[in-house]
Amino acid sequence: MDGDDFAGKMAAEAKGWNPGLIVLLVVGGPLVVFLIANCVLYVYAQKNLPPKKKKPVSKKKLKREKLKQGVPVPGE
């Protein structure tokens, strides 16, 4: 086995793209872009969107809370 022949083979193999690297870039690249875009949109939404409106409290729940606090409910 000649040393020059072995070095020539290694140089010929190193010229091509590694298939594992191609798969990693094709799958991992868009995934990373997606995750970063999600984080950016989340931060933007937290700063710029108005807060959610609270649901109105029902009269039944209001009455129950007042009874728990010991406040007399009007009309009873």
Q: What is the pLDDT of residues 9-68, one digit of tens each?
A: 555 555 788 999 999 999 999 999 999 999 999 999 988 888 778 888 788 888 888 888
Q: Is 0.85 surpassed by the pTM of this model?
A: no
Asked if residue 63 lies in contact with residue 56, where contact means CB atoms within 8 angstroms, the answer is: no
What single-letter DSSP state applies at residue 27? H
Dist. CA 30–CA 28, nearest whole Å:
6
pLDDT at residue 73 greater than cutoff 70: no
pLDDT at residue 6 greater than cutoff 80: no
